[in-house]
Amino acid sequence: MWYELSKAFVEHTIGVQGKAADALHFFLYDTVKIWFLLLTIIFTVSFLRTWVNTEYVRAYLQGKSKLYAHAAAAGFGIITPFCSCSAIPLFLGFLQARIPLGVTFSYLISAPINNEIAIAMLFGIFGWKITALYIAFGLMVAIVGGWFIGALSMENEVLIDVTPMEGRLKADIVRLSITQRAKEAWHYTVDIFKKIYIYVMVGVGVGAWIHGYIPTDFIVQYTGEGNPFAVIIAVLMGIPMYSNAAGVMPLVEVLTSKGMLLGTALSFMMAVTALSLPEALILKKILSLKLIALFFTIVGSGIIVIGYLFNAIL
C-alpha cells in the first residue's frame, strides 16, 4: 500500500518522471519503511529485555555445563543490550563468576552481531528468511568461535587478575510494572532512533543513486560470481564500519538486487556488526594483543567460511 502511495506522490504530486522519479520513489519508500520497522522492532526488543539484564545472564550461566553454556550465552546475546563501552566490566564480571573464557567470548561475539538495529534493518530490507539465516549463522559463529577460543586455554592472556568469587549468584528477574517497562523501552527506542535515522537516510540515498545510475554489469563484475575474493574483501571492508550498520545495510540491499551474491552480503553485514575496531581498542586494556588478534581471526574466518558456503549453496 505504502509502495503505491509513495509512487503516486512522486509521479503526480511532485511531478517527476523517468530515472529521477525512480530514484526519488525508491528513496522515499525505503526510508519511511525502514524508519517504521526500526521503531517497531527496537521497541519490541527493548521491551522484552526489561526482564533480563546482564547481571541475570551472568547468574544464569554460572556453573552450567560447557556445551549448554556456550549455546545459552550466544542465545542471551540476542536479547540483552550491548554497548562496547561496558565490554570490560562485563568481561571481568563473567570471569569473576567463574564462567569459562570461551563461554564469555560466545556472549561477546553474539551480543553485537544480534543487536536490535542490525536485526531491524535486515528484517526491513530483506524479510524474515534472510534475517533468520543471519541470526542462525551469527549464533553458530558465536558458539563455535567461543568454543575454539576456550579450547586454546588462553586464560593467561587476560591482563588483569580476577579474583573468583565464592558461592553462587542468585538469578533475579528484573521487577517492574508493565507500564514502567513500556516507558523504559520507549525512551530507549527514541534514543537509538535519534542516533541513527540520519544514517538510514544517507544509506538509502546513496542506494537510490546506485539503483538509478550505476549499471548492473559493474556491480556483478566486482561483487558477483566474477570475483572469487568478494567475500574476503567484503569482510575486511566491514571492520571499520561498525557504528554505521544503519547506513550500510540499505547499500547492501541495492548491491544484492543488482547482482552481489547473498553470501557475500551476509558476510559483509556480519563483519560490520561483529568485528569492531573501537571494541578491540577497549578490550586492549584487559586482554593481550595476541588474544584480541585471535578473537578477530577466528570470528573473521568463521564469517568468511559462511559467506563462501552460502554462495556455493544458493
Partner 1 sequence: MKIEVLGTGCKKCSELEVVVKTAIAQSGKFVQLEKVDDLMKIMEYQVLSTPGLVIDGKVVSTGKVLSVDEVVALINS
* CA angle centred on 35, ends 238 and 115, rounded to 5°: 45
Placement of cell 587478575 in the chain: 161
Residues 250-289 that bind partner 1 (CB under 8 A): none
Q: CB-wise, 19 or 168, nearer to partner 1?
A: 168
Asked if 92 interacts with partner 1 (CB under 8 A), we say yes
Q: State the minimum distance, in angstroms, from the CB of residue 160 to partner 1.
A: 7
Give the contact letters, 2-41, x = binds to partner 1 (CB under 8 A), - = no.
Answer: ----------------------------------------
Q: Name the segment binding partner 1 (CB under 8 A); options: 49-57, 64-72, 252-260, 297-305.
A: 49-57
Number of chain positions touching partner 1 (CB under 8 A): 20
**The binder of partner 1 chosen from 5, 20, 68, 89 (CB under 8 A):** 89
Point out which span in 10-18, 33-41, 47-55, 61-69 binds partner 1 (CB under 8 A). Answer: 47-55
Sketch the per residue contact string, 102 through 141, with partner 1: x for CB under 8 A, - otherwise: ----------------------------------------
Stretch that binds partner 1, among 13-21, 50-58, 146-154, 201-209 (CB under 8 A): 50-58
Minimum separation from the CB atom of position 286 to partner 1 (A): 8
For partner 1, which stretch binds (CB under 8 A), given 4-12, 52-60, 127-135, 253-261?
Answer: 52-60
What is the nearest approach in angstroms of partner 1 to the Cβ of residue 93?
4
Q: Which residues bind partner 1 (CB under 8 A)?
A: 53-55, 58, 81, 83, 85-86, 88-90, 92-94, 96, 160, 162, 169, 184, 188
